[in-house]
Amino acid sequence: MKYHIEKNTVQETLVIPLFGRLVCSERFPELFSDPEVNRICASLDYDFAEKRKKMESAAGLFGALEVAQRQYDLCCEVLAYLKEHPKAAVVNMGCGLDNTFHKCDNGLCRGYNIDMEDVIQVRNELLPAGEREQNLAYDLNDHTWMDLIDASDGAVFFAAGVFYYFKTEDVRKLFSAMAEHFPGAVLVFDSCNERGAKLMRKIWLKEAGITDVSAFFSLEDEAELCGWSGCFASVTARSYMRGYRDIYRDVGVFHKLMIRFCDMLVKMRIVRHSFGGKAYDKERTDKKRL
């Protein structure tokens, strides 16, 4: 039995990044390999013909590259954190049908996948939680989800394509609450400046009847976050398409131009946000002693 995906529903929005990763694994196998995404797409009752046609255009394929490269970047950050904290909590915020935990699982860490209830219902069918993994149905702005995360051995949080649709004040409250709740943890997410965020949100906000796009989250400079809370230890950022693995030489002229556009004009970045606090201070003191 295949899982039916209705057109023009929340379920369909989950298919887009999923299919983007599939297309990249087909077109750029030397860069992206994702057998699980093949399995998931094969288990869906959904006509991918229209999506494939769009993603075979130069612009559509670049969108797929963005999705696949973003997952690669976030995996790099998660794996780096797990090297020092092998039993940490790995928390996917706004998970959709993302399988990053499975790519990073070291056999010791714990995975938490958080999203709205209707999304988790689909995920439970297609990506049921494995051993040491939980799918949690929560609105991220309902901060009670934090009480369900066991961060006793550290925690690395990540979000892919999520915060563009949050109001800036909600992001501020969320980050500040996380910093207080999870001292010593790390949060990694993708961002861009206001120009880029408007481009990405245009269709979605128009459909929702929202016109005040200035209230929504974007970053011209990651340093803007430093003054949000006294519990923030550091904020750093890298290029979205070139900061973790430079794919510039592996793509054609059009995609090279798009990469330069993303870097210079919309400032697409992967932001790494370290939370301070007692646990952070103790770790820093211990390293100095060594």
Give the least confident one: 31-45, 67-81, 201-215, 233-247. 201-215
Whole-angstrom distance, CA of residue 234 vs CA of residue 232: 6
CB contact set of 108 (below 8 Å; sequence gap of 6+): 86, 87
| Residues 120 and 151: beta-carbon distance below 8 Å | no
136-156: per-residue pLDDT in tens? 999 999 999 999 999 999 999
Q: What is the distance between the alpha carbons of residues 28 and 13, in angstroms, rounded to a whole number?
A: 23
Q: Quick one: 86-289 is in which CATH superfamily? A: Vaccinia Virus protein VP39 (3.40.50.150)
At residue 283, the pLDDT reads 46
How big is the chain by its Cα radius of gyration, in Å? 19
Q: Are 91 and 114 in contact (CB under 8 A)?
A: yes
Asked whether the beta carbons of 43 and 3 are under 8 A apart, the reply is yes
Question: Residue 119 pLDDT > 60, yes or no?
Answer: yes
Amino acid 276: pLDDT: 86
142 three-class SS: coil
Nearest of 217, 222, 182, 191 to residue 90 by alpha carbon: 182
Would you kindly state where each structural domain of the chain is located, as residue ranges? Answer: 86-289
Instruction: Please report, as a single letter, which amino acid is at residue 103.
Output: K
CB 17 within 8 A of CB 25: no
Q: Under DSSP, is residue 45 helix (H, G, I), strand (E, B) or coil?
A: strand
For residue 139 the two structure tokens come to 């609105």
Encode pLDDT of 23-37 as tens digits. 999 999 889 988 899
Tell me how many degrees the CA angle 89-18-35 measures, rounded to the nearest 5.
Answer: 80
- The answer to whether residue 96 scores a pLDDT higher than 60 is yes
Rounded Cα distance between 22 and 29, Å, is: 10
| Residue 288 half-sphere exposure toward CB, CA atoms < 13 A | 6
Average confidence (pLDDT) over 180-189 = 96
